[in-house]
Amino acid sequence: MSIQRLMCCSLLIVSTCLAGVACSPTLEAQAQQAPQLQEGEPEGAFCGGIAAFQCAEGLVCVDDPNDGCDTNQGGADCGGICRKEKRRACTGREPGQRFISRDPNQCAVIRYFCEEGFEPFSNDCGCGCQKIKKACDYKDPTLTFVSKDPTQCLAITFLCPKGSVQFFNDCGCGCQQVDNACDYSDPTRSYISLDPGECTLINFLCAEGTPFFDRCGCGCQLSP
């Protein structure tokens, strides 16, 4: 091929690029050139598109419902608008909550009732019934709190001095002074449960001694 012909081809390619027919920047170049929105820019600013415009910190890019571009319908390089990032104020593991549905959209159309002592709740994690919280009396002189966090109470172990018993409720856990308190250090007693409520649900046999069940719990009593 002659030098003259090569020069003609080069001029043709340059002319085509200048006319905007080809030679578009690469995706990597577009990303590098995409301007970042500055902190404090308002919600609703343009984002995305072929230039991949970014939203300011704390905002996310969502589809613009007012344009005709839909990525689900074959649209490519659709633009969007910046919206505040929605953060859920729940975890779905809050104590005292019983979920009927974990789909907020379904929660909007279903009807349900809660048993006595519970009330309905609905949040970003779903809906259901939660235990009605009673006012806590942290000034009760008969109560010594080990923790005021019911969730933490499930993970800790503690003993109460003679003349008091353990308590666990929605306000926390600790030791409560009582008359004729339970003596959990009695060597003649082997406890299966310290919860009288739980004792009503379990069956057990004693290899030694005889079964007992009272306000202190249940287990096996050895002969003195």
Q: What is the pLDDT of residues 27-75, one digit of tens each?
A: 444 444 444 444 444 567 888 888 888 888 778 888 787 777 776 666 6
Would 17 be classed as within a structural domain? no
Would 16 be classed as within a structural domain? no
pLDDT at 120: 93
Give me the DSSP letters along 80-146.
EEEEEPP--S--S--TTEEEEES-HHHHTT------TTEEEEEETTEEEEEEPPPPP-TT-TTEEEE
126 and 139 share one domain: no
**Which tens digit of pLDDT belongs to each residue from 173-218?**
999 887 766 777 888 889 999 888 788 888 888 988 889 888 788 9
176 and 192 share one domain: no
How far CA 194 is from CA of 29, 69, 127, 167, 214, in Å, comes to 69, 65, 33, 10, 9
Q: What is the pTM for the complete model shown?
A: 0.30
Would 116 be classed as within a structural domain? yes
Instruction: Tell me the C-alpha distance between 85 and 75, whole Å.
Output: 24
147 and 172 share one domain: yes
Would 72 be classed as within a structural domain? no
**Which tens digit of pLDDT belongs to each residue from 158-172?**
988 877 888 888 889
Would 113 be classed as within a structural domain? yes
Would 5 be classed as within a structural domain? no
49 and 82 share one domain: yes
Q: Which of 62, 54, 57 is nearest to 40 (CA)?
A: 57
Q: Which domain holds residue 172?
A: 135-181
Would 3 be classed as within a structural domain? no
173 and 222 share one domain: no
190 and 177 share one domain: no
Structural domains of the chain, count? 4
175 and 217 share one domain: no
83 and 30 share one domain: yes
Q: Which of 139, 133, 157, 135 is nearest to 147 (CA)?
A: 157
Would 1 be classed as within a structural domain? no
Supply 221's token pair. Answer: 């009593």
156 and 209 share one domain: no
pLDDT at 127: 93
pLDDT at 39: 46
